């Protein structure tokens, strides 16, 4: 089942574990690894808290994708957020990323394919960046369930170069991550 299209607004990466990532002209996604030159690239988990718990876990967070519509919402609440500020590798516009189920395949640009592994679970570091931001990226649905708005995480199924203005197409997949 094909979903709708989105456009990439910006791409970002950082070789160091920092909260924000500088934007760049393009990034290269490497099959099974993530974003070339990014601190979170690798087969096994790279997020420090998860490494401390078990460094042999598979890296289901090779790439972080966020919707620029969140920046609009946050701006309306008094926050000033720009692309890369929340540690994302890819910023999109036009697709309901948060509504994508696990296993969705995102075809990005001419070659790259990313499998959605879940929503990003923002941590308290986000409040170190801007006070009150954690609460602003978390919400509650009609039943009182937690809603995480800080984008999605994924693994690279097929590599390729990704840059601003590339299209993103989502397909509900039959493949499921480990």
pLDDT at 173: 58
C-alpha 3: how far from chain center:
18
How far out from the chain centre does Cα 61 lie? 8
**Residue holding tokens 């919707």?**
67
What is the model's pLDDT at position 4?
Answer: 62
Is residue 125 within 8 Å of residue 86, measured between CB atoms? no
Please report whether residue 178 resides in a domain.
Answer: no
Work out how many domains the chain is built from and give that number.
1
How many Cβ atoms from other residues are within 10 Å of residue 128's Cβ?
11
Residue 117 covered by a domain: no
In terms of residue numbers, what domain contains 167? 2-109+123-171
What is the predicted pLDDT for the residue at 178? 47
CB atoms within 10 A of CB 125: 11
Q: Which of 27, 30, 32 is nearest to 14 (CA)?
A: 27
Bridge partners (DSSP) of residue 35 are: 29
The CATH number of the domain holding residue 13 is 2.40.33.20
Contact 59, 40 (CB under 8 A): yes
In a domain, 26, yes or no: yes
Nearest to 153 by CA among 78, 109, 84, 98: 98
Collect all residues with Cβ–Cβ distance below 8 Å to 143 and sequence separation of at least 6.
none
Q: Looking at residue 48, what is its pLDDT?
A: 77
Residue 25 inside a domain? The answer is yes
In-domain check, residue 58: yes
Q: What is the pLDDT along the chain (178 residues), one digit of tens a residue?
A: 555 689 999 999 999 988 899 999 999 999 999 999 999 999 999 887 788 889 899 999 999 999 999 999 999 999 999 999 999 999 999 999 999 999 999 999 999 999 999 999 988 889 999 999 999 999 888 999 999 999 999 999 999 999 999 999 988 754 544 4
Q: pLDDT at position 1, please?
A: 55
In the numeric block, the tokens 């990466």 are attached to: 13
């Amino acid at each position: 089942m094909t979903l709708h299209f989105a456009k990439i607004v910006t791409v970002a990466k950082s070789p160091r574990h920092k909260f924000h990532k500088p934007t760049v002209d393009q990034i290269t996604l490497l099959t099974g690894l993530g974003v070339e030159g990014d601190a979170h690239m690798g087969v096994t988990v790279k997020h420090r808290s998860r490494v401390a718990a078990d460094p042999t876990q598979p890296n289901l967070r090779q790439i972080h994708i966020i919707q620029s519509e969140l920046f609009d919402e946050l701006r309306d609440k008094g926050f000033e957020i720009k692309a890369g500020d929340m540690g994302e590798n890819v910023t999109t516009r036009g697709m309901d990323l948060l509504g994508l189920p696990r296993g969705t395949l995102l075809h990005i640009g001419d070659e790259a394919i990313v499998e959605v592994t879940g929503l990003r679970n923002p941590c308290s570091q986000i409040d170190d960046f801007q006070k009150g931001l954690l609460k602003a990226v978390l919400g509650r649905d009609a039943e009182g369930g937690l809603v995480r708005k800080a984008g999605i995480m994924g693994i690279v199924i097929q590599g390729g170069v990704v840059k601003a203005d590339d299209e993103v197409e989502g397909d509900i997949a039959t493949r499921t991550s480990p």
